[in-house]
Amino acid sequence: MHERNIPGQMIGLAGWLLLAFGASAIGAVASVEARSFYGELVLPDWAPPGWVFGPVWTVLYAFMGIAAWLVWRSGGFRGNRTALGLFVAQLALNALWSWLFFAWRLGGWAFVDILALLVTLSVVLVLFWRVRPLAGVLLIPYLIWVAFASVLNYAIWQMNPQLLG
């Protein structure tokens, strides 16, 4: 991508942000009753309050979109097919998790999904870092949050077998 093509760059940024927040929206549809369901669950003492998730995820999705845009700017989709393709795959795993956990209440499958997300995201971070180090840096908070969420998913699943069969 030619960096002086400002309108094209802004359209590209908007597109990657829309893709990231689109995955968020797909997950949000499954999470319509997440607040009340989260309130019914037995939670570990270290679990964050439910209101934390919205602001954290908003920032993380923005970082994801910007990171993908930075990689896209460095060679387009064709030049970074593997990195950007895996980025899209991790977005799908991310959106699927909400369906597995909140809509379908399948704690074990949600845990399998989040582990696959963690592995895929780790690879994406490395690939993004190789293209644009800043793109990799932008994914570090997301990786940390998903690692934390993996442990939380497991703990909640184990503490609530009657709700998360």
pLDDT digits (tens, 9 = 90+) for 60-109: 999 999 999 999 999 998 999 999 999 999 999 999 999 999 999 999 99
139 by Cβ neighbours in 10 Å (0-12 / 13-18 / 19+) ranks as buried
pLDDT of amino acid 165: 81
d(CA 60, CA 56): 6
**Does the structure show a pLDDT above 80 at 33?**
yes
Q: Please check whether the domain covering 6-159 is classified as CATH 1.10.10.2120.
A: no
Tell me: the pLDDT tens digits for 8-31? 899 999 999 999 999 999 999 998
**Does the structure show a pLDDT above 70 at 1?**
no
Extents of the domains making up the chain: 6-159
Cβ contact 157:110 at 8 Å: yes
- Torsional sign, CA 114, 120, 124, 125: positive
The amino acid at residue 25 is A
Residue in the block written with tokens 């093509």? 5
Per-residue burial over 3-35, b = 16 or more CB atoms within 10 Å of its CB, e = otherwise: eeeeeebeebbeebbebbbebbebbbebbeebe
d(CA 11, CA 54): 26
91, two tokens: 């977005």
Calculate mean pLDDT across residues 39-63: 95
pLDDT of amino acid 3: 59
